[in-house]
């Protein structure tokens, strides 16, 4: 792939894990195509995550559950063509790792072969999820875990809710993180977890934790690129900080384009052959 010309400088699993020791925070964004993955890569992120959140952000679904493996492979391959330095991680969508170890190995193998990704992300920290992680890692595929609020379990969890508020639930998150570490995961995402609990999880494992709505105690942070750019201006969770207001910029630009076309100002002689 043409983007791989800078592979000698690419951030790999070893450097990713080493950040736990050095204390240098990891910066991750979710992006879904070549253009935005390239812009994120040029902006200096450590990893681009092709999240199944594309179901909500790009496809307009109410959840990530309808997202298919073929869709993830399409978007993963597109994003991979945009990155030259960052690690490229692809989410494993619903039902690709929940139906047994063999199915998980085959599906993760497809993602690696057909996208050129550097790692996959698997949701869940129970025993079954850990078994899938262990089997996939044994194939030579790096795996990022994901616990706390797991979007593929939204119906079981009762909606978009913070996880780990009660002592028993907090301890369960610590146990899940340790289980994933033991299974070979090189890092773990903590989503919608109280700050104190996320700190406890981070302290309990030797692999980096990547927070989203999990406070400042994690080893790194992840946001959806469209969210931090202000393109998804109808989505306003507490944890989201917008660094631009691009939705209004887009609407304004389209309005000006429309006005120029309607009024005959575009195309003019400077924009015609």
Torsion of CA 229, 230, 234, 235, to 10 degrees: 40
d(CA 230, CA 122): 27
Alpha helices in 116-245 (DSSP H): 127-138, 154-157, 167-183, 195-204, 225-228
- Residue 111 to residue 113: CA distance in whole angstroms: 6
Cis status, amide bond into 234, omega within 30 of 0: no
- Give the DSSP letter of residue 99: S
For residue 61, the Cα-to-chain-centroid distance in whole angstroms is 17
Considering 127, 181, 191, 248, which one is annotated as catalytic?
191
> What values do phi and psi take at 81, rounded to 5?
-70, -10
Please, what sign has the CA dihedral across residues 43, 45, 49, 51?
Answer: negative
Residues 6+ apart with CB under 8 A from 25: 19, 219, 220, 221
Is 191 marked active-site? yes
Which residues are catalytically annotated? 191
């Amino acid at each position: 792939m043409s983007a791989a010309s800078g592979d000698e400088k690419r951030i790999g699993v070893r450097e990713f894990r080493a950040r736990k020791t050095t204390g240098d925070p990891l910066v991750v964004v979710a992006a879904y195509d070549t253009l935005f993955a390239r812009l994120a890569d040029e902006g200096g992120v450590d990893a681009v995550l092709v999240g199944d959140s594309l179901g909500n952000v790009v496809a307009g679904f109410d959840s990530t559950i309808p997202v298919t493996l073929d869709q993830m492979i399409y978007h993963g391959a597109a994003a991979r063509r945009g990155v030259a330095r960052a690690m490229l991680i692809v989410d494993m969508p619903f039902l690709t790792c929940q139906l047994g170890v063999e199915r998980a190995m085959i599906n993760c193998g497809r993602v690696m072969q057909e996208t050129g990704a550097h790692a996959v992300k698997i949701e869940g920290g129970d025993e079954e999820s850990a078994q899938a992680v262990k089997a996939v890692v044994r194939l030579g595929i790096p795996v990022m875990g994901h616990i706390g609020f797991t979007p593929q379990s939204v119906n079981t969890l009762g909606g978009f809710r913070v996880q780990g508020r009660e002592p028993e639930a907090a301890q369960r998150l610590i146990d899940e993180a340790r289980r994933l570490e033991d299974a070979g995961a090189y890092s773990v995402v903590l989503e919608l977890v109280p700050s104190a609990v996320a700190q406890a999880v981070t302290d309990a494992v030797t692999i980096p934790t990547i927070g989203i709505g999990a406070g400042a105690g994690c080893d790194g942070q992840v946001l959806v690129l469209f969210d931090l750019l202000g393109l998804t201006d109808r989505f306003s969770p507490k944890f989201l900080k917008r660094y631009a207001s691009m939705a209004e910029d887009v609407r304004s630009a389209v309005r000006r384009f429309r006005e120029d076309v309607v009024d005959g100002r575009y195309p003019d002689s400077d924009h015609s052959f």
